[in-house]
Amino acid sequence: MWALISHSLRTSAEEVIGFQRTPKRNPWYDQECRDATAAKDAAYGRTLQAGATRAVVEVYRSRRRDEKRLFRRKKREQERRECESIESSRDRNEARNFYQRVKRLTQGFKTGGVACKDDDGNLITDAEIVLRLWRDHFSSLLAGSGHDDYGEYDPQTPIYGTDVDVPTPSHAEVKDAIQRLKNNKSAGADGLPAELFKAAGDMLVGSMHKLISKIWLTESMPDDWNHSMICPILKKGDATLRTNYRGISLLPVAYKVLTSVLCENLKPHAEALIGPYQCGFRPGKSTIDQIFTLRQILEKSCENQIDTYHLFVDYKAAFDSPRRDRLYAAMSELGIPAKLIRLCKMTLSNTISSVR
């Protein structure tokens, strides 16, 4: 069923919308610039001929100066147009467009180098070796290593959750999950962005509802949904060190619809378990009150000259390699329905990642 849905979406998108072309890196470089460059190159070619006089060389130098002046003028005009466009976006409260244009104008051009350093600090430029280094890096990061501190645990331990009946998702739940998808996000390996799902209409919602209902009952999802693409994003520091990158996984949008429906079914159970101390990442709550309380404690401690001790914990890559078997066991101990635990296990089993 998913193969038919994805084929229909892709075919319709190619016929109606088409593919987006990569924008020109230098939009100011027009036909006038090309003519100036051609005139300069022709003058330079005449200087290479035998018997070229000083006048020929001067003509070439004049053409070169004219080309540089033209390029500078075109760049200034392009920058002025960009600034006017940025100001217009600000006046229309188009925040996304505003910040994108500011970033493009201030950041400039960045080379997309493929070189990186190996474990010994040697700079590697061979493309195949670089890909292998990235694969090994994310394999060790995501697969995890050294779980001796967790003690003995049998990963084949069966799941004993509560026997609460979990009905299949309704048509409205699937429709809401599709509408909650965020726009302007990169698509997964299948190349189908969220905008296609949101604009496809009720026919797609009905097909996705049938597919998700089948997955819910059989506890088996399409193999394509197990494939994610990892895009390394530089955080800060040396661009040749792999540890300075954060891996962003691009997941299929249809998989996100399924997990969104599953998340909405898990929320009532989680809200009943989480105490009022947890305010971050919860709807209708914020950490503002907790920050205010902490500030009050600091002010009163300083006023009364009382020592205070603060512990700031920053777990590096805390969510990259969790013990999934421990996660399922914890969910079972907390009384999460066994059906939801098995569905969570299904979404995290047999996953495949590739580095882009």
Asked if the structure places residue 72 within a domain, the reply is: yes
Asked if the structure places residue 315 within a domain, the reply is: no
Whether residues 183 and 65 share a domain: the answer is: no
Distance of alpha carbon 285 from alpha carbon 269, whole angstroms: 17
Whether residues 232 and 334 share a domain: the answer is: yes
Asked if the structure places residue 125 within a domain, the reply is: no
Distance of alpha carbon 80 from alpha carbon 83, whole angstroms: 5
Whether residues 280 and 164 share a domain: the answer is: yes
Last residue of one domain, picked from the residues 107, 124, 141: 107
Give me the helices (H) in 277-354, please.
288-303, 324-333, 338-348
In 3D, which of 211, 236, 233 has the Cα closest to residue 222? 211
Asked if the structure places residue 136 within a domain, the reply is: no
3-state secondary structure of 35: helix
Pairing, β 352-355 against β 227-234: parallel
Last residue of one domain, picked from the residues 107, 128, 148: 107
Asked if the structure places residue 252 within a domain, the reply is: yes
Last residue of one domain, picked from the residues 72, 107, 142: 107
Predicted pLDDT of residue 144: 58
Whether residues 46 and 182 share a domain: the answer is: no
Predicted pLDDT of residue 264: 92
Total number of domains constituting the chain: 2
Asked if the structure places residue 148 within a domain, the reply is: no
Beta-bridged to residue 230, according to DSSP, are 249, 355
Whether residues 184 and 330 share a domain: the answer is: yes
Whether residues 171 and 100 share a domain: the answer is: no
Asked if the structure places residue 215 within a domain, the reply is: yes
Predicted pLDDT of residue 51: 80
Asked if the structure places residue 119 within a domain, the reply is: no
Whether residues 190 and 65 share a domain: the answer is: no
Amino acid at 271: E
Beta-bridged to residue 2, according to DSSP, are none
Predicted pLDDT of residue 43: 92
Whether residues 162 and 270 share a domain: the answer is: yes
Alpha-carbon distance values, 57 to 37, 49, 62, 70, 148 (Å) = 16, 11, 9, 20, 75
Whether residues 183 and 246 share a domain: the answer is: yes
Amino acid at 313: V
Predicted pLDDT of residue 152: 47
Give the torsion through C-alpha atoms of 163, 168, 172, 177, to 10 deg: 80
Predicted pLDDT of residue 157: 52
Mark the ranges of the chain whose per-residue pLDDT is less than 50.
Answer: 146, 148, 150-153, 155
Q: Can you give the residue range of the structural domain that contains 77?
A: 28-107
Predicted pLDDT of residue 317: 58
Whether residues 273 and 170 share a domain: the answer is: yes
CB–CB of 85/92 below 8 Å?
no
Residues 123, 125, 130, CA angle at the centre, nearest 5°? 90
